[in-house]
Structure 1
Amino acid sequence: MDARVNYFADPVAGKALKHLMSAGRALKESSLPAVTQELVALRVSQINGCAVCIDMHTKDATATGESVVRLHLVAAWREATVFTEAERAALEVAEQATRVADGAGGVSDAVWARAAAHYDEEQLVALAVLVSFMNTANRLNIIARQPAGDYEPGQFH
């Protein structure tokens, strides 16, 4: 299976995506815990059905020592006992911010307050940018029908 388009081959799209990828790398340098970043990236990608991003973030998380059990339970995090309260708060923000079209009106004040109880302002900003970044990356990959399965950990970082 081949992707419909190669964004990087187009001079304008390629330049834009290089900047977008730089933004993704900058997020890795934030104080938002790396484990939380991978869990959030995985959950957003699951919601959006982005196979290539699910592949990437599952493998990156595993390479950094994340357990297979926790990765398998991300899709059902509300019923799983393996996530911290801080991780649960981040996953809840990620879900509400990703499902804005479902009529919920975005991230509720209550959900934001739960996240703010665990993360400082810098981390909350990083969380918001990460969720937005992942939604953008997911949509670009879905539009292109980017195939999944060949990603090697650290390939794009």
Structure 2
Amino acid sequence: MGARLNAFTSPVAGKALKHFIAAGKVVADSPLPAATQELVKIRASQINGCGFCTDMHTKDAAAAGETSVRLNLVAVWREATVFTDAERAALELAEEGTRIADAAGGVSDEVWGNAAKHYDDEQLMALVSLIALINSFNRMNVMLTMPAGDYQPGQFN
């Protein structure tokens, strides 16, 4: 099954994506650990059912040295022993930030406070920005039915 529209040839999408990608580079260059960034992108993409982004970010994480054990356990991070307390806090924030409509008041003070124990203000802002960005990419790709499986690391660099 192919995509409904080609976001890579649309002038409108091209203009919007240029800004999304620029924002993503700002986050990527932030002091938020790169491994944490990939884990968050994977978890939000799993929740949103975005095969394209799940494919991309698991492959990018593996290419950057992430282990298959950790990648295979992202969806069940609460039961897994392979994540640090800081990574768990980021994954929990990603889940609540992705499922924002499911909780009255959005992200709970408890989840925010736990993340704030592990990340400084700049890292927290990078984390919030990353969660917002990956959710935007997920929603675009899901609506367009972008196919998963063919992504190669570095394809969009």
- Common fold, TM-score beyond 0.5? yes
- TM-score, structure 2 length as denominator? 0.96
Q: In the alignment, what sits opposite 1:75?
A: 75
* Residues 12-31 of structure 1 aligned to structure 2 (within 5 Å): 12-31=12-31
TM-score (norm 1): 0.96
Counting matched residue pairs gives 157
- Taking the aligned partners of 2:128 and 2:97, their CA distance within structure 1 comes to 8
Which residue does 1:2 correspond to in 2? 2
Query: Could you tell me which amino acid in structure 1 is paired with residue 113 of structure 2?
Result: A
Offset, 1:156:
2.2
1:71-150 to 2 correspondences below 5 Å: 71-150=71-150
Moved more, 101-110 or 87-96: 101-110
Q: Which residue of 1 aligns with 2:47?
A: 47
Deviation at 1:104, TM superposition (A): 4.1
Q: Quick one: structure 1 residues 117 and 103, their matched pair in 2 at CA, closer, same or farther if it must change by over 3 Å?
A: closer
* Paired letter, 1:84: T
1-structure distance, mates of 2:33, 2:59: 17
Kept in 2: contact 1:5–1:144 (CA 8 A): yes
CA distance in 2, matches of 1:14, 1:63: 26
Q: Distance in 2 between matches of 1:138 and 1:109?
A: 25
Which secondary structure state, in structure 2, belongs to the residue aligned with residue 115 of structure 1?
Answer: helix
Q: Deviations over 1:33-66 (max 9, x none)?
A: 0000000000000000000000001001001111
Task: Tell me if structure 2 keeps the 8 A contact 1:90–1:115.
Answer: yes
Read off the aligned partner of 1:135 and give its amino acid letter: N
> Partner of 1:117: helix, strand, or coil?
helix
- Aligned residue identity for 2:6: N
Q: Percent of counterpart pairs with the same letter? A: 65
* Deviation (angstroms), 1:101: 1.8
Query: Which residue number in structure 1 is paired with residue 33 of structure 2?
Result: 33
- Find the aligned partners of 1:131 and 1:13 in 2 and give their Cα distance: 20
> 2:154 corresponds to which residue?
154
- Shift >4 Å, 4+ stretches: none
Once the 2 structures are TM-superposed, how far is the Cα of residue 20 of structure 1 from its aligned partner?
Answer: 1.0
Give the unaligned 5+ runs of structure 1.
Answer: none
